[in-house]
Amino acid sequence: MTEGMNPGQRAVVLALGSNLGDRMANLQRGIELLDGDGITTAAVSGVFETTPVGGPAQDDYLNAVLLTRSALPAGDILTRCAAAETAAGRVRGVRWGPRTLDVDIITCDEELSADPALTLPHPRAHERAFVLAPWLDVQPAAVLPGWGPVADLLATISTAGVWRRADLRLALPAAGGQEGRNGARSGMPCA
Protein backbone atom coordinates (compact mmCIF):
# COMPACT_ATOMS: atom_id res chain seq x y z
CA MET A 1 0.00 0.00 0.00
CA THR A 2 1.29 3.49 -0.89
CA GLU A 3 2.25 5.78 2.01
CA GLY A 4 -0.68 7.79 3.38
CA MET A 5 -3.34 5.49 1.96
CA ASN A 6 -6.05 3.78 3.93
CA PRO A 7 -6.91 0.12 3.21
CA GLY A 8 -8.87 -0.14 -0.02
CA GLN A 9 -7.68 3.19 -1.39
CA ARG A 10 -5.92 3.49 -4.74
CA ALA A 11 -3.69 6.17 -6.20
CA VAL A 12 -5.58 8.21 -8.80
CA VAL A 13 -3.89 10.75 -11.09
CA LEU A 14 -6.10 13.56 -12.41
CA ALA A 15 -5.14 16.15 -15.03
CA LEU A 16 -6.75 19.59 -14.81
CA GLY A 17 -6.84 22.29 -17.47
CA SER A 18 -8.50 25.64 -18.08
CA ASN A 19 -8.35 28.23 -20.84
CA LEU A 20 -11.51 30.30 -20.28
CA GLY A 21 -12.15 32.98 -17.68
CA ASP A 22 -9.95 33.14 -14.59
CA ARG A 23 -7.89 30.06 -15.38
CA MET A 24 -6.15 29.87 -11.99
CA ALA A 25 -9.42 30.28 -10.09
CA ASN A 26 -10.95 27.55 -12.25
CA LEU A 27 -8.11 25.12 -11.47
CA GLN A 28 -8.24 25.94 -7.76
CA ARG A 29 -12.01 25.48 -7.73
CA GLY A 30 -11.59 22.14 -9.48
CA ILE A 31 -9.24 20.94 -6.72
CA GLU A 32 -11.70 22.04 -4.05
CA LEU A 33 -14.67 20.43 -5.81
CA LEU A 34 -12.86 17.12 -6.23
CA ASP A 35 -11.60 16.84 -2.64
CA GLY A 36 -13.90 14.98 -0.25
CA ASP A 37 -16.71 12.43 -0.51
CA GLY A 38 -14.37 9.56 -1.26
CA ILE A 39 -11.53 11.43 -2.95
CA THR A 40 -8.59 12.71 -0.90
CA THR A 41 -6.12 15.12 -2.45
CA ALA A 42 -2.49 14.27 -1.73
CA ALA A 43 -0.36 16.59 -3.89
CA VAL A 44 -0.63 19.05 -6.75
CA SER A 45 1.94 19.88 -9.41
CA GLY A 46 3.18 23.27 -10.35
CA VAL A 47 1.14 25.18 -12.92
CA PHE A 48 2.11 24.85 -16.58
CA GLU A 49 1.06 27.18 -19.38
CA THR A 50 0.47 25.26 -22.59
CA THR A 51 -0.50 25.95 -26.15
CA PRO A 52 -3.65 24.09 -27.23
CA VAL A 53 -3.30 20.74 -29.00
CA GLY A 54 -5.95 20.02 -31.62
CA GLY A 55 -9.37 21.60 -31.84
CA PRO A 56 -10.26 25.12 -32.96
CA ALA A 57 -8.08 28.20 -32.45
CA GLN A 58 -8.20 29.12 -28.76
CA ASP A 59 -6.27 30.71 -25.90
CA ASP A 60 -3.47 28.97 -24.02
CA TYR A 61 -4.28 26.63 -21.15
CA LEU A 62 -3.11 26.42 -17.60
CA ASN A 63 -2.58 22.77 -16.66
CA ALA A 64 -1.78 20.88 -13.47
CA VAL A 65 -1.81 17.31 -12.21
CA LEU A 66 -3.49 16.31 -8.99
CA LEU A 67 -2.47 13.19 -7.09
CA THR A 68 -5.39 11.75 -5.17
CA ARG A 69 -6.41 8.65 -3.22
CA SER A 70 -9.79 6.96 -3.46
CA ALA A 71 -11.58 3.69 -2.82
CA LEU A 72 -14.34 4.72 -5.26
CA PRO A 73 -14.83 2.74 -8.47
CA ALA A 74 -13.29 4.48 -11.49
CA GLY A 75 -16.75 5.17 -12.94
CA ASP A 76 -17.74 7.07 -9.79
CA ILE A 77 -14.54 9.11 -9.97
CA LEU A 78 -15.37 9.96 -13.59
CA THR A 79 -18.83 11.12 -12.48
CA ARG A 80 -17.20 13.33 -9.84
CA CYS A 81 -14.85 14.81 -12.46
CA ALA A 82 -17.77 15.65 -14.76
CA ALA A 83 -19.68 17.21 -11.86
CA ALA A 84 -16.67 19.39 -10.99
CA GLU A 85 -16.45 20.54 -14.63
CA THR A 86 -20.14 21.43 -14.66
CA ALA A 87 -19.92 23.26 -11.33
CA ALA A 88 -17.03 25.30 -12.76
CA GLY A 89 -19.20 26.36 -15.70
CA ARG A 90 -18.00 24.02 -18.41
CA VAL A 91 -20.31 23.83 -21.39
CA ARG A 92 -19.65 20.98 -23.79
CA GLY A 93 -19.77 22.24 -27.35
CA VAL A 94 -16.95 21.78 -29.82
CA ARG A 95 -14.77 18.72 -29.27
CA TRP A 96 -11.39 19.82 -27.89
CA GLY A 97 -12.72 23.36 -27.72
CA PRO A 98 -12.07 25.95 -25.02
CA ARG A 99 -13.26 25.16 -21.50
CA THR A 100 -13.46 26.67 -18.04
CA LEU A 101 -12.37 23.38 -16.48
CA ASP A 102 -11.34 20.03 -17.89
CA VAL A 103 -10.63 17.11 -15.56
CA ASP A 104 -9.30 13.82 -16.96
CA ILE A 105 -8.54 10.61 -15.13
CA ILE A 106 -5.03 9.67 -16.23
CA THR A 107 -4.61 6.57 -14.07
CA CYS A 108 -6.59 4.79 -11.42
CA ASP A 109 -3.78 2.84 -9.77
CA GLU A 110 -2.89 -0.06 -12.08
CA GLU A 111 -6.44 -0.46 -13.45
CA LEU A 112 -6.66 -1.17 -17.17
CA SER A 113 -9.89 -0.61 -19.08
CA ALA A 114 -10.78 -0.54 -22.77
CA ASP A 115 -14.30 0.72 -22.06
CA PRO A 116 -14.99 3.62 -24.48
CA ALA A 117 -16.71 5.52 -21.63
CA LEU A 118 -13.55 5.34 -19.50
CA THR A 119 -10.33 4.03 -21.01
CA LEU A 120 -7.57 3.50 -18.43
CA PRO A 121 -4.94 4.65 -18.44
CA HIS A 122 -5.98 7.73 -20.42
CA PRO A 123 -5.48 6.69 -24.07
CA ARG A 124 -3.44 9.75 -25.10
CA ALA A 125 -1.58 10.55 -21.86
CA HIS A 126 1.67 9.02 -23.16
CA GLU A 127 1.85 11.58 -25.98
CA ARG A 128 0.73 14.73 -24.14
CA ALA A 129 3.47 16.92 -22.70
CA PHE A 130 0.80 19.05 -20.99
CA VAL A 131 -0.04 15.97 -18.88
CA LEU A 132 3.39 14.37 -18.54
CA ALA A 133 5.34 17.52 -17.57
CA PRO A 134 3.11 18.45 -14.60
CA TRP A 135 2.89 14.79 -13.55
CA LEU A 136 6.67 14.46 -13.56
CA ASP A 137 6.87 17.75 -11.64
CA VAL A 138 4.78 16.39 -8.76
CA GLN A 139 5.86 12.73 -8.92
CA PRO A 140 9.37 12.29 -10.38
CA ALA A 141 9.21 8.47 -10.24
CA ALA A 142 5.76 8.27 -11.87
CA VAL A 143 5.00 5.34 -14.18
CA LEU A 144 2.17 5.27 -16.72
CA PRO A 145 0.78 1.71 -16.65
CA GLY A 146 1.47 -0.07 -19.92
CA TRP A 147 3.81 2.68 -21.13
CA GLY A 148 6.61 3.05 -18.59
CA PRO A 149 8.29 5.84 -16.63
CA VAL A 150 6.80 9.28 -17.24
CA ALA A 151 10.31 10.79 -17.45
CA ASP A 152 11.16 8.44 -20.35
CA LEU A 153 7.88 9.19 -22.14
CA LEU A 154 8.35 12.95 -21.78
CA ALA A 155 11.88 12.65 -23.19
CA THR A 156 10.51 11.18 -26.44
CA ILE A 157 7.95 13.89 -27.28
CA SER A 158 8.08 17.59 -28.04
CA THR A 159 7.71 19.91 -25.08
CA ALA A 160 7.47 23.02 -27.26
CA GLY A 161 4.62 25.18 -26.02
CA VAL A 162 4.73 23.76 -22.48
CA TRP A 163 6.41 25.77 -19.74
CA ARG A 164 6.23 25.91 -15.95
CA ARG A 165 4.86 29.11 -14.42
CA ALA A 166 6.94 29.87 -11.32
CA ASP A 167 4.65 32.80 -10.54
CA LEU A 168 1.57 30.59 -10.13
CA ARG A 169 0.88 28.10 -7.36
CA LEU A 170 -2.16 25.99 -6.53
CA ALA A 171 -2.99 24.89 -2.99
CA LEU A 172 -4.57 21.75 -1.67
CA PRO A 173 -7.66 22.09 0.52
CA ALA A 174 -6.70 22.59 4.19
CA ALA A 175 -7.43 18.97 5.13
CA GLY A 176 -5.67 17.62 2.03
CA GLY A 177 -2.03 17.87 3.11
CA GLN A 178 0.98 19.58 1.61
CA GLU A 179 0.82 22.34 -0.98
CA GLY A 180 2.19 21.78 -4.45
CA ARG A 181 5.92 21.95 -4.68
CA ASN A 182 7.98 24.28 -6.83
CA GLY A 183 10.06 22.47 -9.41
CA ALA A 184 13.59 23.26 -10.48
CA ARG A 185 12.44 24.32 -13.94
CA SER A 186 10.37 27.26 -12.62
CA GLY A 187 9.44 29.60 -15.43
CA MET A 188 11.49 27.68 -17.97
CA PRO A 189 10.38 25.71 -21.00
CA CYS A 190 10.26 21.97 -20.46
CA ALA A 191 12.88 21.25 -23.09
CATH of residue 66: 3.30.70.560
Using CA atoms, how far apart are residues 52 and 9, in angstroms rounded to an integer?
33
Residue 176 lies in a domain: no
- What is the per-residue pLDDT for 180? 38
Q: Is residue 36 part of a domain?
A: yes
d(CA 144, CA 110): 9
Per DSSP, the residues of 3-25 read TTPPTT-EEEEEEEEE-SSSHHH
Residue 177 lies inside a defined structural domain of this protein: no
Asked whether residue 1 is assigned to any structural domain, the reply reads: no
So what's the pLDDT on residue 56?
74
The residue range of the domain holding 68 is 10-164
CA distance linking residue 56 with residue 96, whole number of Å:
7
182 assigned to some structural domain: no
Alpha-carbon distances, residue 117 vs 30, 74, 95, 171 (angstroms): 21, 11, 15, 30
Residue 2: what pLDDT?
55
For residue 172, being part of any structural domain is answered with no
Q: Is residue 179 part of a domain?
A: no
Answer yes or no: are the C-beta atoms of 118 and 79 closer than 8 Å. no
Q: What is the chain's pLDDT, residue by residue, as a tens digit (191 residues)?
A: 456 667 789 999 999 999 999 999 999 999 999 999 899 999 999 999 999 887 777 899 999 999 999 999 999 999 999 999 989 887 767 666 688 899 999 999 988 888 888 888 999 999 999 999 999 999 999 999 999 999 999 999 999 999 999 999 999 997 544 333 333 333 333 43
Burial group, residue 116, by CB count within 10 angstroms (0-12, 13-18, 19+)? exposed
Domain count, the chain: 1
- On whether residue 84 sits in a domain, the answer given is yes
Separation of alpha carbons 16 and 86, rounded Å: 14
